[in-house]
Structure 1
Amino acid sequence: MSSRRPPPDSHDYPARTAPRTSSPSKLDAAVTTCRACPRLVAWREEAARIKRRAFRDWQYWARPVPGFGPADAPLAIVGLAPAAHGGNRTGRIFTGDPSGDALYAALHDIGLASQPTATHRGDGLELYGVRITVPVHCAPPGNRPTTGERDTCRPWLARELELLRPTLRAILVLGGFAWQALLPVLTDTGWQLPRPRPVFGHGAEALLADPGDGRPLHLVGGYHPSQRNMSTRTLTPAMLRDVLRRGAEIAELPARPPHRGRPGP
C-alpha cells in the first residue's frame, strides 16, 4: 500500500488517514476535509445552498462535523449523524437543532455542560468529562445513511475511540442505529463483546472486556433525543437525564453543581 495520503474524495480516505492521526484535535481536522461519500457530499452542500428560511443569513458549515469535547473524557456519547440544518449549519455536533436542545439542556441539568443551550461554534459551551461523536460525520438525506456510508466513515470513529481509550470508561449510545454501528467498531478496536450480543434498549447496559489493560468498558443505551421521540414522549427529559447520570456514574465523573433552574418533567 502506498504511504501517500489519498485525496479527500477517495473512497479509502478515512481508512488510510484516520490511523495516522495522533490526537483527537488532529483527527477532527482530518475529518472535516473528507469527501469520501459522494451522496453525502452532494446532500450537505445542497442543504447549505437551499437553506431554511430561518437560517437564510447563515453561512453553513457544509462539511463533515467532528466530535466535540475534551480529549481525555471518561464518558463518550455516540449519536447518529449531523442534522442538515443543525450540525451541518453550525459545524458542531448536536448544535442548532431540537435534538441538541434536549441533549445539552440535560447535560447542563446534571452538571456536565457549562450552559443549557448550544447555538453555534464559539458560543462558549464547554463539556466536562464528556466527548460527543457520531458514526457518520456528514448529514444524510432523511437522516438515514446507507450501510456503505456508515462503513466508509467507520475508521474515524474507531480511531477516535482508540485515542480516548486511556481515559474512556463508559459510552452512552443514543439510538439503535448508533448501537449497531458502534459494536463492530469496538470489537475491531480490541474490546470483547459479551455473549449473547448486547441488544439495544433504553437503559440497556453491557460490559466489554479489554484484554489489553484489563479495564472494562461499559455501554449504556438510550433513546435518541430526536424531535419525534421527545414530542411523542417516547423519551422524556427525565429519562434522558437518568441515562446521562448513569453514564456519568459509571465513568466516575467528579460531582459538579447541577443547573440551579428546576428541571423539566
Structure 2
Amino acid sequence: MTTPAPPPGPTTPAAPPGDPDAARSPGLALLDADVVTCRACPRLVAWREQVGRERRASFRDQEYWARPVPGFGDARARILVVGLAPAAHGANRTGRMFTGDRSGDFLFAAMHRVGLANQPTSVHADDGLRLTGIRATAPVRCAPPANKPTPDERRACAPFLAREIELVDPTVAVVLGAFGWAALLETLRDLGWDVPRPAPRFAHGAEVRVARGERTLTLLGCFHVSPQNTFTGRLTPAMLDAVLLRAQALAADAPGGR
C-alpha cells in the first residue's frame, strides 16, 4: 500500500513522502513544498486528479498521491538523473519519483548493482529505499496525458528544476531521453550556463560538458528506462550500468568529488 494521502487540492499539506534526505536540506524542503502544492497547469491538474480518482484496476484499493512529485534521493548528490515526468500509475500513485512502475524497477535495479542504492526495488514511498550520491528528478512534475507534456507546461515547471540544480549542485547529469535532454539544456542556459548553440543533440552515450564560471556539469545521454525501450532491448541492463558507472567515474574525478 502507498502512504495514504488526503484528497488533492489547493490546500493539500506539503508533505511529500518517503524522502528523509530532503529534511536535511532546508532549501530542498521548501522546494518540495512548492512543488507538491503547484496547480499552475490546468490540463495537468485535471489529468493527475482524474487518474487518482479513477485508478487502475490493480490499484483500486490504494490511495493515489495525485499531486506533483518532488525529486528524490541524496540532497548532496554528485549525480542527477533527469527523466521526463511522473507516470500516471507510478509516481502519480506513490508520490515518489520513478516508484511503482516498470521504469523505476529497471532504473533502481541498476543503481543498486553499481552501489548507488541500498536495495534493487522501489515499490512505495516507505519501502526503505535510500540513494547515495545520486538523485532522481524530472523537468515536469505532474503526470501528463499520453506521457506528453506541452512546451508551455515544460516551461511552467522549469523553475523547479532550476532550483533543484542550484540546491543540489551536481557535477554529472544522466539524462533519460531526448525530452529531458532538451529541457535540461534549456534550463541550464536560463541559469547562465555556457550551453553551445545549436544545442548538442541527444544520443545514447552522448557526453557534453557545460560550464558556468568555475563550475562544470557533464551531461550523459541515456535512452529512457521506459518499457518500450527496455522490453525491446533498445536499452539493456548492461547499457544502463555502463552509463551509471561512467557517471560515477566523472563525479569522483570532479573537483570536490565524493
TM-score range, shorter chain: 0.7 to 0.9
Are 1:101 and 2:110 an aligned pair? no
Supply the AA of the counterpart residue of 1:187. R
For the residues of structure 1 that align with 2:185 and 2:233, how far apart are their CA atoms? 27
Q: Secondary structure at the match of 2:173?
A: strand
Alpha-carbon shift at residue 191 of structure 1 (Å) = 1.4
Among 146, 169, 179, the alignment partner of 2:150 is 146
Once the two structures are aligned, what percentage of the paired residues are identical? 58
Supply the AA of the counterpart residue of 1:199. R
Q: 192-201 vs 121-130, which deviates more?
A: 192-201
> What CA RMSD, in Å, does the superposition of the two structures yield over aligned residues?
1.7
Among 55, 68, 73, the alignment partner of 2:72 is 68
Q: How does 1:154-169 map to 2 (within 5 A)?
A: 154-165=158-169, 168-169=170-171
Unmatched segments (≥5 aa) in structure 2: 1-9, 12-24, 254-258
* Runs of 4+ off more than 3 Å: none
Q: Deviations over 1:140-187 (max 9, x none)?
A: 00000000100001110011111122xx21100000000011111001
For the residues of structure 2 that align with 1:57 and 1:252, how far apart are their CA atoms? 44
For the residues of structure 2 that align with 1:70 and 1:26, how far apart are their CA atoms? 16
Q: Which residue of 1 aligns with 2:192?
A: 190
Q: How does 1:1-265 map to 2 (within 5 A)?
A: 23-165=27-169, 168-194=170-196, 197-211=199-213, 214-252=214-252
Supply the AA of the counterpart residue of 1:205. E
Q: Secondary structure at the match of 1:155?
A: helix
For the residues of structure 1 that align with 2:181 and 2:138, how far apart are their CA atoms? 11
For the residues of structure 2 that align with 1:111 and 1:71, how far apart are their CA atoms? 17
Alpha-carbon shift at residue 240 of structure 1 (Å) = 0.9
For the residues of structure 2 that align with 1:196 and 1:147, how far apart are their CA atoms? 18
For the residues of structure 2 that align with 1:50 and 1:97, how far apart are their CA atoms? 18
Alpha-carbon shift at residue 78 of structure 1 (Å) = 0.3
For the residues of structure 1 that align with 2:26 and 2:190, how far apart are their CA atoms? 18
For the residues of structure 1 that align with 2:26 and 2:62, how far apart are their CA atoms? 33
TM-score normalised by structure 1 residue count: 0.84
Q: Secondary structure at the match of 1:209?
A: strand
Unmatched segments (≥5 aa) in structure 1: 1-7, 10-20, 254-265
Q: Would you say the 8 A contact 1:194–1:207 is kept in 2?
A: no
Alpha-carbon shift at residue 215 of structure 1 (Å) = 2.8
For the residues of structure 1 that align with 2:215 and 2:44, how far apart are their CA atoms? 37
Alpha-carbon shift at residue 196 of structure 1 (Å) = 5.0
For the residues of structure 2 that align with 1:122 and 1:51, how far apart are their CA atoms? 20
Alpha-carbon shift at residue 194 of structure 1 (Å) = 3.5
For the residues of structure 2 that align with 1:145 and 1:183, how far apart are their CA atoms? 17
Q: Secondary structure at the match of 2:73?
A: coil
Q: Secondary structure at the match of 1:125?
A: coil
For the residues of structure 2 that align with 1:50 and 1:74, how far apart are their CA atoms? 39
For the residues of structure 1 that align with 2:244 and 2:67, how far apart are their CA atoms? 28
